[in-house]
Amino acid sequence: MCSKGPFLEEDIAQTNLGLDLLGQAEALLTYAAKLEDKGRTADDLVYKRPERDFYNFMLTEQPNTDFAFAVVRQYIMALYLDKVYETLSKVDDETLSGIASKALKEIDYHKSHLGMWVTRLGDGTQESHERVQTAFNELWMFVGELYEEDELDLKMQHSGYAISGDEMKSYLFSEISSSLAKATLSIPESVYMTTGSKKGIHTEYLGYLLTEMQYLQRAYPDANW
Amino acid sequence: MGAEKLEVLFQERIDANEKIEPRDYMPEEYRQHLIRQMSQHAHSEVIGMQPEGNWITRAPSLRAKKILLAKVQDEAGHGLYIYSATETLGVTRDELISRLHQGKAKYASIFNYPALTWADMGAIGWLVDGAAITNQVSLQKTSYGPYSRSMVKICKEESFHQRQGYEIIAAMAKGTSEQKEMAQDALNRFWWPSLMMFGPHDSDSPRTGNAMKWKIKRESNDVLRQRFIDKTVSQAELIGLTIPDPDLKWNEERGSYDFGEIDWDEFWSVVKGGGPCNLKRLNHHKKAHNDGAWVRKAAAAYAKKHLNK
Ligand SMILES: [Fe+2]
Ligand SMILES: [Fe+2]
Ligand SMILES: [Fe+2]
């Protein structure tokens, strides 16, 4: 988005969101590397893992087809992250609850900024209405993964580190329905939902993202930057 | 009061180092000169986001990515300050952008050179921001109040930009032989274009006379260029890189470095559109602007609907 925003103020605002997310990722990965205790750093986790070892939701790797796609993708992720950080901010692990409490404040802002764009685009012009509806329709199949559960999720739920899939689903649907109603948009027909990112299955976009992101580290493995 | 009398009073205020504010009398030529210079400055900040923006997805560490992203975002902010300051002269940002798109307004030619390797992120911050700072520090004393204040604000952020660039190139200069080669190559490619950022020699700079008389410009191109060279040479030496100028040598008498002649044919050719990236930079800006048109319309339509309610 940076240098590609629809106007300068929004270019700056979107970059702020990006900076927040980068900071959150860095904090979480640094802690993950420490817990793993195999001498890997946060950067190793980012720059040296192959595609199948990335467990991000497919939603997050979808392209910025237009401004509406970027807004809708990030809006849905902000809702999800808000719930995740809210839960993690209350856990016993102080490092994790610290990261989550800080992130929660940032994500609250993301939710309101992006939610405002959903409203403005939905209730703006005919064209913007169609574009944002299209974005919701086309991204909808990736929402199912956000409340899917595997064994690890169940373990985390058991120790209070996660809410149940059902709770997540009803939270997401109620938030999204009310914001779509406000934006004069409609909830997409329930269609096929993707599954698999928790097993390292992705859409084809991730490979290109990693290729670009990991290029220097892979081309010059002995270098420090 | 007659126009002539007003102009005399205006010049007296300038000579007394008073700041001119938007509602004050100013000669039309002064206003036009400022609009041209300030909009060129604002466009440069924004177009300048591209060569570095082009490397954000490829930054080699999380830390480097965050810093570069924040830096490019700062440049967007600088563009915004200066557009707002320019609007106080009675033009709109839309008009300024449309002049840019029509090729009537320029931006700094340095951004028409491609950023080819990660070392270029170093060279750009170190040299390009370094040259910009030299210029902007001097402009803090410019006679137009809003422009002067925007320079004060910007200069506070610029030193961070130069430091991050220098840190990148310094790390590479003491890295592997491949990194060192990239660092030297980046310096080789960006050194001369950075010197060109200060513009032609004073003797070949037709508008300098008025700009100095009105104190829009406070120091000449050659003075600023020399200051930049004098402070940069030792920074290159410190990290073991060589400035690509065989004529560069310390002049004891002047207390400054002597340096070789700039390739002015290249300078004028790039100014006139003949750089490797001129078309790409402008097209990128136009595309982002055009792609954003429906978003701006939607925001305006929404605001209008909900204002009337
Ligand atoms: Fe923030
Ligand atoms: Fe700047
Ligand atoms: Fe800068």
* B151 and B86 Cβ atoms separated by less than 8 Å: no
Beta strands B249-251 and B256-258: pairing type?
A: antiparallel
- On the question of pLDDT at B246 being above 70, the answer is yes
Give the residue-averaged pLDDT of B12-35: 97
Give the residue-averaged pLDDT of A142-148: 97
Structural domain spans, chain A: 8-219
Q: Please report the pLDDT score of residue B206 as a whole number.
A: 73
Q: Please report the pLDDT score of residue B245 as a whole number.
A: 98
Q: Please report the pLDDT score of residue B309 as a whole number.
A: 62
Q: Please report the pLDDT score of residue B95 as a whole number.
A: 98
Q: Please report the pLDDT score of residue B66 as a whole number.
A: 97
Residues of A within 8 A of B302 (CB-CB) are 119-120, 123-124
Phi and psi angles of residue B16, each rounded to the nearest 5 degrees, phi first: -85, 10
Is A5 an interface residue toward B (CB < 8 Å)? yes
CA distance B302 to B260: 58
Give the residue from B44, B45, B47, B61 with the most A CB atoms within 10 Å of its CB, the best one to mutate: B61
CA distance B119 to B124: 9
Phi and psi angles of residue A54, each rounded to the nearest 5 degrees, phi first: -90, 130
Is A202 an interface residue toward B (CB < 8 Å)? no
* B169 and B183 Cβ atoms separated by less than 8 Å: yes
Reading the block at residue A179, the tokens are: 């914001």
Q: Please report the pLDDT score of residue B202 as a whole number.
A: 85
* B121 and B168 Cβ atoms separated by less than 8 Å: yes
Q: Is B144 helix (H, G, I), strand (E, B) or coil?
A: strand
Mean pLDDT of chain B: 96
- On the question of pLDDT at B250 being above 70, the answer is yes
Cα dist. A19→A54, A99, A108, B54, B63 in Å? Answer: 21, 15, 15, 16, 11
pLDDT in tens, B276-289: 899 999 999 999 99
CATH of A8-219, one of 1.20.1260.10, 3.40.225.10, 3.40.640.10, 3.40.50.300: 1.20.1260.10
Give the residue-averaged pLDDT of A107-117: 98
Place A133 in a pLDDT band, splitting at 50, 70 and 90.
very high
H or E element: which one contains B251?
strand B249-251
Reading the block at residue B78, the tokens are: 């600088």
CA distance B285 to B280: 9
CA distance B293 to A115: 20
CA–CA–CA angle B223, B228, B230 (5° rounding): 95
Residues of A within 8 A of B288 (CB-CB) are 3-6
* B84 and B147 Cβ atoms separated by less than 8 Å: no
Q: Please report the pLDDT score of residue B171 as a whole number.
A: 98
DSSP B261: P
Q: Please report the pLDDT score of residue A63 as a whole number.
A: 98
Does the ipTM surpass 0.90?
yes
String of b and e for A124-146 (b: at least 16 CB within 10 Å)? bbebbbebbbbbbbebbbbbbbb
Percent of chain B having pLDDT more than 90?
92
Residue contact A6–B49, C-beta within 8 A: no
Residue A184 makes CB contacts below 8 A (sequence gap 6+) with A122, A123, A129
Q: Is A77 helix (H, G, I), strand (E, B) or coil?
A: helix
Residue contact B72–A131, C-beta within 8 A: no
Q: In this complex, which of B49, B293, B298 lies closest to A120 when CB atoms are compared? A: B298
- On the question of pLDDT at A1 being above 80, the answer is no
- On the question of pLDDT at B273 being above 90, the answer is no
- CA distance, residue A218 to nearest chain B CA (Å): 10
Is B301 an interface residue toward A (CB < 8 Å)? yes
Phi and psi angles of residue A150, each rounded to the nearest 5 degrees, phi first: -120, -170
Residue contact A222–B176, C-beta within 8 A: yes
Residues of B within 8 A of A220 (CB-CB) are 176, 178-179
DSSP A146: G
Query: What is the whole-number distance in angstroms between the Cα of residue B160 and the centre of ligand 3?
Result: 8
CA B47 to chain centre: 10
pLDDT in tens, B81-104: 999 999 999 999 999 999 999 999
Give the residue-averaged pLDDT of A104-114: 98
Q: Is B164 helix (H, G, I), strand (E, B) or coil?
A: helix
Q: Is B103 helix (H, G, I), strand (E, B) or coil?
A: coil
Phi and psi angles of residue B251, each rounded to the nearest 5 degrees, phi first: -110, 105
* B120 and B50 Cβ atoms separated by less than 8 Å: no
Q: Please report the pLDDT score of residue B290 as a whole number.
A: 97
Residues 37-76 of B with CB under 8 A from A: 46, 49-50, 53, 56-66, 69-70, 72-73, 76
pLDDT in tens, A5-38: 999 999 999 999 999 999 999 999 999 999 999 9
Residue contact B46–A8, C-beta within 8 A: yes
- CA distance, residue B210 to nearest chain A CA (Å): 32
- Between B293-308 and A126-139, two packed helices, what is the crossing angle to 10 degrees? 110
Phi and psi angles of residue B101, each rounded to the nearest 5 degrees, phi first: -65, -30
- On the question of pLDDT at B212 being above 80, the answer is yes
Inter-chain CB pairs, A–B, below 8 Å? 129
Place B20 in a pLDDT band, splitting at 50, 70 and 90.
very high
Phi and psi angles of residue B111, each rounded to the nearest 5 degrees, phi first: -80, 0
- On the question of pLDDT at B1 being above 80, the answer is no
Helix, strand, coil % in chain B, rounded to nearest 5? 70, 5, 30
Residues of B within 8 A of A22 (CB-CB) are 62, 65-66, 69
Query: What is the whole-number distance in angstroms between the Cα of residue B263 and the centre of ligand 3?
Result: 25
* pTM for the whole structure: 0.95
The count of other CB atoms within 10 Å of the CB of residue A64 is: 14
* A139 HSE (CA, 13 A, CB side): 27
